[in-house]
Structure 1
Amino acid sequence: MTDGGAAVDERRRWQALGVGLVAAFMTLLDISIVNVALPSLDRALHASPSDLQWVLSGYALTFGLVLVPAGRFGDVRGRRNTFVFGIALFTLTSALAGLAQSPAWLVAARLLQGAAAGLVNPQVTGLIQQLFRGSERARPFGLLGATIGISTAIGPLLGGLLIAAGGPEHGWRWVFFVNVPVGIVAVILGLRLLPGRPAEQPTKRRRDPIGVLLLGVGVTLVLLPLVQREQWQGPAKWLLVPAGLVTLVGFWLWERRYARQGPPLFDVRLFSHQSYTLGSVIALLYFGGFTAIFFILTLYLQNGRGYSALVAGLTITPFALGSAVASAVGGRIVNRYGRPLVAIGLLGVVAGLGLAALAIEVLPHAPVPWVIALPLLIAGIGSGLVIAPNQTLTLSEVPVPQAGSGAGMLQTGQRIGSAAGIAVVGAVFFSAVSAGDDAWSVAFERSLLTSAGIVTLALVAATVDIIRNHRRTQSATRS
């Protein structure tokens, strides 16, 4: 009986993980899938450039705002209820977005949809921390890393397929409607399979409203000028970034003080763990370079070279395939190789992006999807060796009661990194596009090299950690 019960528990936790991964895939997919839908959406709703910017950036903004409070709420109140509510809200807002009759309607739905995604994602990582222990977390984190990489990369392809199937007039609506049946199934399975709140969990906890306010204001001030960089003219908007950073320092100081009274929104002592601090820095920098790749590639292929949305999506397929395979492998071997595995992955991404830029330079008139297929495959393999292993190492020392808030802060850094990376790489891209002849190819090459430079900063951070650990090991051996 005991063995049979253990088998049932083993099967159930993998089923619960499967539900979480599907939900994570669906919510992360909506970051990139909408990019290829913008032209048809523009024609259907007569949206202004500002409206289109908010359709894209509003989702990322509210996503990033909710992550840490949602993670903490799941830690305290139970992850199942938070997860199910978030998926239900995501499903409803996806339907509302698909039914939109005006730009304002669509923007409002996207803001709520992003908040719902922010509710869901910390629960998935927290569930892995809760259901798995020690080294056995490597495999589920590998699957989560593959989910993150594939969902981000495959969004343009799936969006192109849906638009081709739905037609130029209403195809963009199916980009949102596709979430509805998946979301309904995820709600049902989440209620059945996800564990409830542990019995020993206290029913009442001190609230931390000032912490929530400081974090929300700080993240908003940092993200707003980044996500609205094209619509807000003039340099004054960048004053919000230092104001946001000062507010986040205030959040840090407040959380340290609040921890003396009771559990804070986020326990800043997690940053005393080198694995968490360094992993968070690597994630922030890597997502700054990684996410921007798909943004500039979609613009270059569709606007610069005249390819369809479907071809633009297919072009990214080598990256997605490489990332999927390498994530699964990386998750299995990260406990054996540690941070050097992440460094190898970062080196692969830098090499792949550099080769893609070189290929465009050497073969300017060749079909772009074929020319950059191999470099994107190399970059995808490298990416798979970064996201999942780095997440496993970063969260390895986070206690289970803080798993949700710890994961939420890690993902908040990823969202800030993504927004900052797109802002920097986008600025390089658009400044080069306006320069003159053959501007699109030059802009793409420079943008790829900029992304590679940002990823190189993450590689430097990983290398520093490897050297420090090597010296520490040598010192311990001498002792």
Structure 2
Amino acid sequence: MTTTGSPFAADYQPDPRRWKALAVCLVVGFMTLLDVSIVNVALPSIEQGLGASSADLSWIVSGYALTFGLVLVPSGRVGDARGRKTTFLVGLTLFVVASAACGFATGPGMLVISRLIQGVAGGILSPQVSGLIQLLFRGAERGRAFGMFAATIGISTAVGPLLGGILIQLGGAEHGWRWVFFVNVPIGIVAFVAATKLIPARPAESKQPLRASSFDPLGVVLLGAGVVTLMLPLVQERQWEGSGKWLLLVVAAILLAAFWFWERRQARRGHQQLVDLSLFSLRSYSLGCVIALVYFAGFTTVFFIYTLYVQQGLGYSALMAGLAVTPFALGSAVSAKIGGNIVERVGRKLVIIGLVLVVVGMVGTVVASLLVPGQNVGFAAAFPLLIAGIGSGLTISPNLTLSLDEVPVTKAGIAGGVLQTGQRIGSAAGIALVGAVFFAQVAGTKGDWARAFQLGLSTAAVLVLVALAVGLADHVASRREQQRASA
């Protein structure tokens, strides 16, 4: 297994500040990813405090995800070209300002606009984190660092409802939602000061110019338009009635195909590409992207439908709903650290083991809701959710490490941006699909939330099984290549 990640690995000198710099990156990564899920439990408080409509609430949630996914790839390119420290600090400043604006919002419109800007800032920051890990670490250390990053992803997604519930409980029903955003401000300021001292700057002579011609402006437009038209009908699936919205998927396919052909044309002419398509010739990277996309389509929907089920179906408070998903977060945190430490030795088999555990945990959660219906389902589902969380930590962390392992350090930002764009699209698609199954069952059975949850979670488990099939196919192909090479 390759662990260099760069043709210049022989010149690599470990930075003595690398672990402290990683801590700063993980805090910021946690903060940006937390805002994907923490707002869900705050929606009733926002509706009460600001008089927001259902359309406003939808954009408060989906607008963040949309702009986050939109800027991931271009910001990864900027970080590769101009230095990740500078890009990181710009993104962090914007995120803190936007978070404060969200907290001070005087109406739904101001909150929606601030959330859109906050999503842009999160999308700027996220690929810099993976790029900095590529830059600062090599070999087994990189696996451990990515393990910690993957644990951060898993914990931030799972702990969001719990933290949101605690803040709302402390701040009160009317204004508690404001603290969901204000909490980012002091953390972001401290992280900014630490980042200026701990994150290494790129030498000026190694920076690439960012003239318009070198940034592939048509590629930016085609990819941005393709991502927007792909994600819009997914994130707005419940708000836009009728089937006409799905025509945007056809438009998205055309735009993304045009982007692909344009990037190939740029490569043939020796011009600057937004995305170096040669990255997809690395099997570890291309298959890792597919696994991430499909897995996130199944994994993130667990929290979406479970918190809805226990809050609206069983009457749990926001705090109790957050506590109900805590076992998943705990399992993911522990196993991601372990997975990062052993992925160099075990390889893709570790991802397969993780996916199997996630499926087992999901099925176990469905069985628990059947055997122990009613208010006690939170206790009955705790153990299978713990198993699913352990599997998730063994999936996200090793898959992230393996996907970026052979990517040159100079392309780490753009590679991380593409990978995370796939994760965001997968999450939106999974929520649209599983949410459609869930709400159709609620409507069809006149409020049978338990049945809706069981069917929705079963659908999510099928998506994870698809990711497992991709992982198995990769493992079998690798074994055959090794056998042919030895023969």
SS class of match (2:36): helix
What is the rounded CA distance, in whole Å, between the counterparts of 2:177 and 2:262 in structure 1?
44
- Does 127-136 or 257-266 show the bigger shift? 257-266
TM-score, normalised via structure 2 length: 0.95
Shift of 1:366: 5.1
> Which amino acid in 2 is paired with 1:451?
A
Alpha-carbon distance in structure 2 between the residues aligned to 1:396 and 1:199? 26
1:273 aligns with 2:282: yes
1:404 corresponds to = 413
Contact 2:14 2:136 in 1 (8 A): no
Q: TM-score, normalised by structure 1?
A: 0.97
Q: Secondary structure at the match of 1:322?
A: helix
**1:196: how far off?**
1.2
| 1:262, distance to aligned residue in structure 2 (A) | 3.2
Residue 71 of structure 1 pairs with residue 71 of structure 2: no
Q: Is 1:113 paired with 2:118?
A: yes
**SS of the residue aligned with 2:300?**
helix
Q: CA deviation at 1:457?
A: 0.3
Cα displacement (A) at 1:10:
4.3
The aligned residue for residue 54 of structure 1 is 59
Residues 313-367 of structure 1: CA deviation (Å, up to 9, x unaligned)? 0011100000000000000100111111001100100110001001111221351
Match of 1:414 in 2: 423
Q: Which residue of 2 aligns with 1:384?
A: 393
Partner in structure 1 of residue 197 of structure 2: 192
1:214 to 222, 225, 235: 222
Aligned residue in 2 for 1:261: 270
Equivalences for residues 58-137 of structure 1 within 5 A: 58-137=63-142
Q: In structure 2, the residue corresponding to 1:323 is in which secondary structure? A: helix
Unpaired runs of 5+ residues, structure 2, are: 1-12
Structure 2 residue matching 1:344: 3-state secondary structure: helix
What letter is aligned with 1:386? T
- Post-superposition Cα deviations, 1:421-444, rounded to whole Å, max 9, x if no partner, equal 000000000000012256100000
Contact 2:70 2:228 in 1 (8 A): yes
Does 2:32 match 1:27? yes
**Greater shift in the superposed pair: 239-248 or 18-27:** 239-248
Structure 1 unaligned regions, length at least 5 = 1-7
Report what 1:463 is aligned to.
Answer: 472
Match of 2:459 in 1: 450
| Equivalent AA in structure 2 for residue 100 of structure 1 | A
Offset at residue 51 of structure 1 (A): 0.4
| Separation in 2, partners of 1:385, 1:263 | 37
Letter in 1 for 2:230: V
Code of the residue aligned with 1:167 in structure 2: it is: G
Could you tell me how far apart the structure 1 residues matched to 2:374 and 2:449 are?
12
Q: How many residues get paired?
A: 471
Match of 1:5 in 2: none
CA contact (8 A) 2:14 2:137 kept: no
Alignment correspondent of 2:166:
161
Question: 1:118 is aligned with what amino acid?
Answer: G
1:263 deviates by: 3.2
Calculate percent identity across the aligned residue pairs: 58
| SS of corresponding position for 2:256 | helix
Aligned-residue Cα RMSD (Å) equals 1.2
Q: Distance in 1 between matches of 2:70 and 2:447?
A: 40
Instruction: Show the counterpart of 1:252.
Output: 260
Q: How far apart, CA to CA, are the structure 1 residues paired with 2:67 and 2:375?
A: 41
| 1:375 counterpart residue number | 384
- What is the rounded CA distance, in whole Å, between the counterparts of 1:330 and 1:147 in structure 2? 13
Shift of 1:169: 1.1
Aligned partners of 1:414 and 1:156: how far apart in 2? Answer: 20
Shift of 1:305: 0.6
Could you tell me how far apart the structure 2 residues matched to 1:11 and 1:300 are?
Answer: 48
Q: Match for residue 241 of structure 1?
A: 249
